[in-house]
Structure 1
Amino acid sequence: MADDIRFDGQVAIVTGAGGGLGRQHALELARRGAKVVVNDLGGSVDGSGGSSDAAKAVVAEIEAFGGQAIAHGASVTDDAGVADLVKTTIDTWGRIDILVANAGILRDKTLSKMELADFEAVMQVHVFGTFKPIKAVWDIMKAQNYGRIVVTTSSSGMYGNFGQSNYGAAKMAVLGLMNTLKLEGAKNNVKINAISPVAATRMTEGLMPPEILAKLNPEYVTPGVVYLVSEDAPTGAILTAGAGVFALARIFETEGVYLGEGGLSAEEVRDSWEKITAEPGQQAYFNGGEQGQKFFRKLAGG
C-alpha cells in the first residue's frame, strides 16, 4: 500500500477557489498539508461584480481545521492582479509548487443570439485567465525543478454542448496550451494536466434536476485534481471526473490511407472515406511530430 498523498512544505494557488470546485480543491490541498492561496474575484457566474469575501470565507474554513491559507482577490484576466498574486505568494511562502487554474464564467447563448462581447468575455476568463497565471509561475517552477499545474477543460469543448460555442472554444484552447507545455516543462519536472469535471456548482445549477445535482457533488471531482498535482502525477492527461466516476479522454487519429500525389482529387477523398476513417490501428499521439512520422511512413510505403 503506497503512502498517502501529502503536500507538506508545498505552496498551492487555486484560482476561482471561493466556491464550487475551486473551494473543494483548496480545502483538500490544505487538509493534506499544502499552504494554499485562495484566489477568487468573487464575481457572479457571468463574471460581473467582484470582491474577495468568498475567498476570505474559504481561508477561514482552512484555518478552522489548522491549515494555512491566504486570500487574494485578483481577476485572473488582469495582468497587474496576476503579478501581485504571484508576488504575494512568493513574499509570504517563498515558493509555488502547484497551480490549479479553475476560475471560469458562463455566457450561454446560441450563436445566433450571442454578442461578440459574450464570446470575448468567456475567452478572456478561460483562456487568458488560464494562460496568465501559468505564465506568471512558469519560470519559478522551472527554476526550482518542480511544478504541478492543472487546467480545467470541459466536455463542452471536447464533444460540444448546445448554446456553448464560446465556452467550448475556450475549453479546447486550454488543452492546446497544455499539450505544448507538457513538452516544454518536461526537462524541469513541471507537469501539466487537465481536469474535465461534471459537478453541481453555481455554473450548472440551472441545467439539471436537483436529484441529479445531488450526485454531482464537487467533492467527487477533487480526488482527481489532488492526484494530478501530486509528485507522482502523469503529464498531458485529460482526466474526466464526476459522481465518483473517473476516465481518461484522448484524441485518437486513424491510421489513414495514402492516396498518392498524382491526380489527387476531392472525389478520391470521398471514395476513400471508409479507409480514411477506419478505426483499426488508430493512435493517441503525445506530440505533433508523431503524426508527422506516420505521414512520412505511409508516403514511404506508397
Structure 2
Amino acid sequence: MNTFFENKLAIVTGGAGGMGRAHALRLAELGANVAILDVDLEVAARYGEELTAPSVREEILALGRKSVAIQADLSDRQTAFDAVEDIERHFGRIDILINNAGGAITPVDVSSASLASEEDRRKLFAVNFDTAVNMCQACSPVLSRQGGAIVNVSTIGVCMDDAGARFAMYSAAKAAIEKYTKSLAVELGPNNVRVNCVAPGLVTTARVAKQASARKLATSDQAKTIPLRRLGRPSDITGVVEFLVSEQAGYVTGECIRVSGGLQLLAAT
C-alpha cells in the first residue's frame, strides 16, 4: 500500500467547489490532510454542485482526514500570508500547494486583446496571477525547509485562441503563470521543492456546465472536434496533478502538462 501522502498537508486554493473540490477530495482519498482556501466557501451551492456533505471540508472529514476551510481573497498579499501562517500553525507543516483558484471571470464578449478594459485586465491578473504568486511566496519558506511540491494551473488558451480571441487577457495571465512556474522551479529546486504546471482544456465542472451555452464554450458540438471526441472530466485533471505531486514525478520540475484531449493540436492544423 502506498503511504506517500499519509499525514501530508495539502493546500488547495479555490477548493470549495468545482475543479478545486476534485483536487481536494482526491488528495484526501490518497491520505493527505487538506486545507481549503477560497474567496467564496459557498461556491458549490451557487452553481448547483451536488456534494456528499454540507461542505467540501466535511466531505474530507468524512474520509477520515483533517481539514480546515478559510474564506480569503488571496489576491491580497497580506491575506494570503496570514492564511498560510494560520494553516502552518494548525497543522505544523505544508507539503503540497495546488494553486487552482482563478478563472475567466470577466464578460467574454469584451475580454479580447483589443477590447478588454483596464479594470477587467487588472481583475483577471489579480485572480489568476497575483493569487498564485502570493501563495507560492507565502508557502516557499515552509516548503524549502522540508521539501514538497507546487502545482500551478494554466490553460490550454496559452497555446491557442477561440474565434475572436475572447479570452486574451485570461490567457495572458496564465501565460505569466507558466513563466513564473519555470523561474520558481529553478529557484526552489536546490531545496527539494518541485514546481510544475497543468494546463486544462475544456473541462466540465458545475460552473462551466452552467455557463457553457451563454459563453459558447465546452459545448457538445465542441466536444466533437476534440481529437479524443469528448470534453474533459475533473478526474482527467486530478490524475495529472496527483502524478505531479507524487514520488513518481520526483525528477520532474519546471514543466507544464497540457491536459486537453489533444485540443491544442488543432492550433497547428
Indicate the larger mover: 218-227 or 195-204: 195-204
Name the structure 1 match of 2:185.
182
Distance 2:5 2:262 in 1: 22
Distance 1:22 1:43 in 2: 11
Q: Which amino acid aligns with 2:166?
A: G
Distance 1:225 1:133 in 2: 17
Q: Which amino acid aligns with 2:233?
A: N
Name the structure 2 match of 1:70.
68
Indicate the larger mover: 102-111 or 10-19: 102-111
How far apart are residue 111 of structure 1 and its match? 3.4
Distance 2:220 2:63 in 1: 30
Q: Mapping of 1:1-302 within 5 angstroms?
A: 4=2, 6-42=4-40, 57-106=55-104, 107=106, 108=108, 109-144=111-146, 146-161=147-162, 162-198=165-201, 199-201=203-205, 202-203=207-208, 205-206=211-212, 207-210=217-220, 212=223, 215-233=231-249, 234-242=252-260, 245=261
User: If each structure's helix is expressed as a fraction of its own residues, which one has the higher value?
Assistant: 2
Higher relative contact order (CA 8 A, sep 6+): 2
Spell out, residue by residue over 1:82-132, the C-alpha distance to the aligned partner (whole angstroms, 9 max, x if none).
122111111111010100001013122233432111111001111111100
**% identity of equivalent residues:** 31
Distance 1:158 1:5 in 2: 36
Distance 1:17 1:122 in 2: 19
What SS is found at the alignment partner of 1:9? coil
RMSD (Å), alpha carbons: 2.8
Question: 1:5–1:230: 8 Å Cα contact kept in structure 2?
Answer: no
Question: Higher Cα Rg: structure 1 or 2?
Answer: 1
What SS is found at the alignment partner of 2:246? coil
How many residue pairs get aligned? The number is 237
Q: Which amino acid aligns with 1:229?
A: V
TM-score under structure 1 length normalisation: 0.71
What SS is found at the alignment partner of 1:208? coil
What SS is found at the alignment partner of 1:114? coil
Question: 1:240–1:247: 8 Å Cα contact kept in structure 2?
Answer: no
Distance 2:94 2:149 in 1: 9
Taking structure 1 as reference, are residues 141 and 25 closer, same or farther at Cα in structure 2, changes over 3 Å only?
same
Question: 1:75–1:81: 8 Å Cα contact kept in structure 2?
Answer: yes
What SS is found at the alignment partner of 1:13? strand
Question: 1:28–1:222: 8 Å Cα contact kept in structure 2?
Answer: yes
Distance 1:43 1:94 in 2: 23
What SS is found at the alignment partner of 1:76? coil
**Structure 1 residue runs of 4+, over 3 Å off?**
3-6, 210-215, 245-249
Q: Which amino acid aligns with 1:208?
A: A
Distance 2:150 2:54 in 1: 23
Question: 2:197–2:254: 8 Å Cα contact kept in structure 1?
Answer: yes
Distance 1:246 1:223 in 2: 16
What SS is found at the alignment partner of 1:171? helix
Question: 2:28–2:63: 8 Å Cα contact kept in structure 1?
Answer: no
